């Protein structure tokens, strides 16, 4: 099991093309931890904005009567992938991992696999 800081460091070093990562509480929209980012990627703004994305998708699923769970949400941009991984398990409800990737350097399938592994080992 790893703590937030260790998990974020692992995401930035183990996932090829990682630009920034955050652990976000989508009930408040607050980032509980961030690493990376920079002047072109404000992770605080990204945390708040992606909270709206998660809430909208959850509401839509409720309106549709879908009884399934969201694993992750992928947003593709011209130069980046943005991956939102909803966390499951004791103490993890209401949280998601947000990962921004450089599209030219990232392997999306491997990034999803590694983020799932990091999420499973994260103790909040």
* Residue 1 confidence (pLDDT): 55
Number of domains the chain contains: 1
- Locate tokens 């991992």: which residue? 97
What is the SS3 assignment for 58? helix
29: number of Cβ within 10 Å: 16
What CATH number does the domain containing 30 carry? 3.30.450.30
Mean pLDDT of 79-88: 94
Q: How confident is the model at residue 38 (pLDDT cuts 50, 70, 90)?
A: confident
pTM over 0.85: yes
* Residue 22 confidence (pLDDT): 97
* Residue 105 confidence (pLDDT): 97
Residues of the chain with pLDDT > 90: what percent? 84
* Residue 88 confidence (pLDDT): 83
Domain with 64, as residue range(s), is 4-121
CA of 2: how far to CAs of 11, 59, 117, in Å? 12, 31, 11
Mean pLDDT of the chain: 93
């Amino acid at each position: 099991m790893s703590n937030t800081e260790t998990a974020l460091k692992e995401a930035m070093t183990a996932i090829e093309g990682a630009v920034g990562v955050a652990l976000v509480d989508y009930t408040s929209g607050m980032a509980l931890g961030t690493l990376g980012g920079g002047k072109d990627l404000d992770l605080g703004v990204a945390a708040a904005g992606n909270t709206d994305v998660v809430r909208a998708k959850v509401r839509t699923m409720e309106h549709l009567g879908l009884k399934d769970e969201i694993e992750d949400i992928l947003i593709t941009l011209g130069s980046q992938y943005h991956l939102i991984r909803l966390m499951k398990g004791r103490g993890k409800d209401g949280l998601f991992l947000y990962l921004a990737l450089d599209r030219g350097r990232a392997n999306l399938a491997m990034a999803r696999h590694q983020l799932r592994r990091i999420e499973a080992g994260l103790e909040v």
